[in-house]
Chain A
Amino acid sequence: MKTESMTEMPSAGYGAAIWRIIKSFALLRESWVGMIGACIVLFWVLVALFAPLIAHFDPNASIMPFAKPGTIGVSGHTFWLGTDHMGRDILARIVWGSRTVLTFGPLATLSAYTVGILMGLMAGYRGGIIDDILSRISDIILSFPVLVLYIIVIATIGASGLNIVIAITFASSPGIMRIVRGLVLDLRNRDYVAAAQTRGESDWRIMLFEILPNARGPLIVDACLRLGYVIITIGVLGFLGLGLPPPDPDWGGMVNETRQMAMVFPHMTLFPCIAISSLILGFNLLADGLREISLRD
């Protein structure tokens, strides 16, 4: 590009932005671990999106109890993964259950991140009393064993989708706050932050534009991992009977309901276990791949 002829401003449209997002996925090619993880996650996202097309049966309809995988039903359609003790098609329940997981999981994580990032920025950048108070609060919350915290919270406010999101936000944001605070404490001593300060920029502008973009590496990796943890939590809560109320399909709940019969009908318990493990594995591999790439930079 001839430098002398540059007198016009470049155009920055939405097309350019979308192209940049697509290009960033190509980065994953550098780490095959990350690629595998991304594929698994993508698979489940597609399953959740196209649930109605994939599952022929209604996940809550009792049709034919205790059918083994591969049995053909009266209507001529196959129960690919068999049915459970109440006659419900397991494939349908798994497919529709993925919607639940992939809705509430990211929602809860996003909510926890918003709160955690805001608190972490304030604690790390402003310091002083705000930092003391926020750190003390987060220390107290973090000193609870996680599941105990969830049990107490759900026992008091009841179980519902929204309450689970609230509980997860409450329990996860201190951890995120700690990470963000640590990153901010390190970044705020950089010269470009001092340069912004000497320009008279406002505190929030510095926190959001100067510091946060440079923390995105570790935060993105943590987000993937945390999404995995959140999905585990949703599964465990479902398993313990503290999750979404029935009859909505819930992978953890499916395992709990059917485990007594696992000796005779293993398919009822095994398939939801495989489903949830594979999704979490996908996120963990993705996180590992992203970490590898960010270290290589």
Chain B
Amino acid sequence: MNDNQEPVLICKDLCISYYTRAGEIPAVVDFSLTVKPGETIGIVGESGCGKSTVAMAIMQYMGANGGIKSGSITFKGQDLTTLNENELRRIRGSEISMIYQEPFASLNPSLKISTQLMEVPLAHEDISKEEARKRSIQMLKDVNLPDPERVMESYPHQLSGGQQQRAVIAMGLLSKPSLLLLDEPTTALDVTVEAGIVKLIADISKKFGTSQIYISHNLGLILETCDRVFVMYSGEVVEEGTVNSLFAWPKHPYTHGLFSCIPLPTTDKNAAPLKPIRGQLPLPFERPSGCFFGPRCDHFKRGLCNKEHFKMEHVEGKASDHRVRCLRYKDIDHAKGLSSDTIKESPEIGKRVLNVDGMKKYYEVKDSSLKALITGKSSRFVKANEELNFTAHESETVAIVGESGCGKSTFAKVLMGLETGTDGEVRHNGKDISRIKVRDRSTKEIRSLQMVFQNPFDTLNPSHSIGGQISRVIKQFGIETDKTKIFKRVMNLLDIVKLPRDFYFRKPRQLSGGQKQRIGIARAFAGNPSIVIADEPVSALDVSVAAAVTELLMDIQREHKTTLLFISHDLSVVRYLSDRIVVMYLGHILERGTTEQIFAPPYHPYTEALLSAVPIADPEVTKRRIVLEGDIPSAMAPPKGCPFCTRCHRKIGELCETMLPPEQLVKDRHVIKCHIPIEELSKIEPVIRIPKKEERIPVE
């Protein structure tokens, strides 16, 4: 990065609006940004803050009803808003490229990868087809795609998600653009695959000298890839600075609030819980005068903060280029906010409630290929769950961690009775339920084992009112039969999940994602269950909303002494709220133990890689970087021997490929399934190193 060179992109006082039938919606109100050559800029914010709109504006592709109201976008000296369609076309793809969240959406399903790659340089430069082909293959190698010739001849659906995204990145870099825009490029990918892409993105600037704008809602990812970061709230930038400066000393209350919402290694569900930001994001035409964040800010001062709209200021002090949009930033002492008045009491772990013993779940798949017809073996088995062993106790939170194909959803289905186990036992309060389907379970059993679902937008039936749906649940569980009593109960539940009582009459589409998820929680807890399975309940929610919902879940659990089985792929959240962790991969449990045991060596090699892949938004935490090669194998054709052997960076040899590893007890219910002896594993350096309180740089 060369400070003396001309900036690649300058956005100055950008103001972007959408013009719809309902009127003008000001999506972006005041946005300014400068990108120097070779620099990686991060734009972070929650949904509705306008970050994607900015990216589209830079590409000058806002659709029929979007337009730049005022301000300018200067790319290498040219004002993009003044260019005609032909000139823009020349810039797109060759000077500025864009990568999206869904890799499959960028690729045409009916064309080969080679066609889609080659047409980029062919359209922009005067080169031959041969030259284009050579460059494409080279670029595929540069993005670490193995077997580039095969990839060239493939159609998009024949590649995995991670491979597709790498191909899309290759496509974006082929004409050597000066600027690369990335809009949440890894959200749709598994954690270990994401780590590889993130590393690739971090290396792009070094390798190719390309400047990048990385848009994300995940502060941890921004920390790992970017040099400077811009925080957006409700259409404007509220804080900007270098990554080190802003992460160490966030000045704006919103930025500070965001950090308090993330389960960092320093948080603890009892001693230092998350502090959700109160209130809601204002709608674009309901923005308050003055500071947009005012109504939600703890340091709001009437008369000063809501008088009129104000601009960004330079932060005084040793941080260079750190600017903030806050009139009171000098007066606010963020250190005071870390007081311990929010400590919650830690619950006592009670008796054993769940005992999973050697559970197996195999799915039979009818093979209709020609080969199967000939050999006569027409059914194959997908081994979704293999030999699962673990226990859970009252008031305990057990996290089930794994990536796609690991079998966690299958396990949830067996537990809930939507499927039956093939072998082994699952004992709930002593009774084996693994073979009993839902319709054969008693009402008492059903209501004592409930689930919170992942997708808040699908968790409620859009055609019925909220009150109607919860009432139905109460009736179905046999808790009450009298109409007035049921009504009272529903009101009670709405109070518990902190929603206004008149939501009884609302339909789901009038609720936000976070509110819907609260109803989902209310529904699951309506029958006072002994076990609740939460399947990624907050992954689809914004950071601040997720924090609120997570805290709600914790509070209810504390109150009801429920056992919580928390399924997730996000190890930061898992570390925050679970007492015990079970790590799954391709149907096997590779490691299980308490949270402290899992996060410290000895590790299973997969756990090690998983821990390394988790983005942590704390600049003083150091991580060892481990990137796994390849993709997760398909559950239909698992490797013989250890399921992890195809990607393991500590593979000891043929033993791993041929024999299933044994379960080794480390101590105290900490079990690792690996061929490597425990003594070796104990010698591994910790993956994550958290500095002690004394070592930390003091908050300014």
Contacts and interface: CB of A to CB of B under 8 A. Distances in A.
Question: Do the two shown chains form a genuine complex with each other?
Answer: yes
B568 to A, nearest CB: 16
Interface in A1-17: 1, 3-4, 6-7, 9-10
Contacts of B446: 198-200
B462 interface: yes
Contact of A214 (B438, B462, B484, B491): B462
A195 B453 contact: yes
Contacts of B578: none
Contacts of A1: 502
B379 interface: no
A191 B412 CA distance: 13
A194 interface: yes
Nearest to B440: A200
A197 B438 contact: yes
Given A198-B418, A200-B443, A3 B459 contact: no
A6 B476 contact: no
B451 A192 contact: no
B500 A214 contact: no
Contact of B501 (A3, A195, A202): A3
B459 A199 contact: no
Q: Interface size for chain A: under 10, 10 to 19, 20 to 34, or 35 or more residues?
A: 20 to 34
A213 B507 CA distance: 13
Nearest to B450: A198
Interface string A194-230: 1101111110000001100110100000000000000
Contact of B484 (A9, A199, A209, A210): A9
Contacts of A192: 458-461
Interface string B500-527: 1110110000000000000010010000
Contact of A6 (B439, B454, B460, B491): B491
B353 interface: no
Residue among A10, A190, A192, A202 with the highest chain B CB neighbour number at 10 A: A192
A194 B453 contact: yes
Given A9-B483, A194-B418, A199 B461 contact: no
Contacts of B473: 199
B467 to A, nearest CB: 9
B89 interface: no
A201 B450 contact: no
B300 interface: no
A190 B501 contact: no
Nearest to A200: B446
B47 interface: no
Contacts of A197: 418, 438
Contact of B461 (A198, A200, A214, A216): A214
B418 A195 contact: no
Contact of A198 (B438, B443, B462, B501): B438
Residue among A1, A200, A213 with the highest chain B CB neighbour number at 10 A: A200
A190 B459 CA distance: 7
Nearest to B491: A6
Nearest to A216: B463
Given A3-B500, A6-B504, A10-B505, A195 B463 contact: no
Given A6-B491, A9-B483, A214-B461, A200 B476 contact: yes
B510 to A, nearest CB: 13
B455 interface: yes
A213 B462 CA distance: 9
Nearest to B457: A191
B366 interface: no
B457 to A, nearest CB: 9
Interface in B464-478: 464, 473, 476-477
B487 interface: yes
B502 A198 contact: no
Contacts of B438: 197-198, 200
Contacts of A190: 458
A6 B441 contact: no
B416 interface: yes
Contacts of B103: none
B458 A199 contact: no
B241 interface: no
Given A6-B504, A213-B464, A214-B463, A191 B458 contact: yes
Given A3-B501, A213-B463, A199 B491 contact: no
B417 interface: yes
Contact of A195 (B443, B451, B488, B500): B451
Contacts of B417: 198
Contacts of A194: 418, 451, 453
Nearest to B469: A192
Contacts of B520: 195
Given A191-B458, A214-B463, A199 B477 contact: yes
A183 to B, nearest CB: 13
A214 B446 CA distance: 26
B371 to A, nearest CB: 23
B158 to A, nearest CB: 24
Interface in A159-210: 190-192, 194-195, 197-202, 209-210
A209 B439 CA distance: 18
B451 A198 contact: yes
A214 B459 CA distance: 13
A213 B417 CA distance: 26
Nearest to B509: A297
A7 B461 contact: no
A7 B491 contact: yes
B363 to A, nearest CB: 15
A160 B321 CA distance: 87
B535 to A, nearest CB: 9
Contacts of A200: 438-439, 441, 443, 446, 476
B476 A201 contact: yes
Contacts of B443: 200
B483 A3 contact: no
Interface of A: 1, 3-4, 6-7, 9-10, 190-192, 194-195, 197-202, 209-210, 213-214, 216
Q: Which 3 A-B pairs have the closest CB atoms?
A: A213-B463, A191-B453, A3-B501
Given A192-B458, A200-B438, 11 more contacts: A3-B501, A6-B501, A6-B502, A192-B461, A197-B438, A198-B418, A198-B438, A198-B450, A199-B473, A202-B439, A209-B464
22 contacts: A1-B502, A3-B500, A6-B491, A7-B491, A9-B484, A10-B505, A191-B454, A191-B459, A192-B458, A192-B460, A194-B418, A194-B451, A195-B451, A197-B418, A197-B438, A198-B417, A199-B446, A200-B441, A202-B439, A210-B461, A213-B464, A214-B461
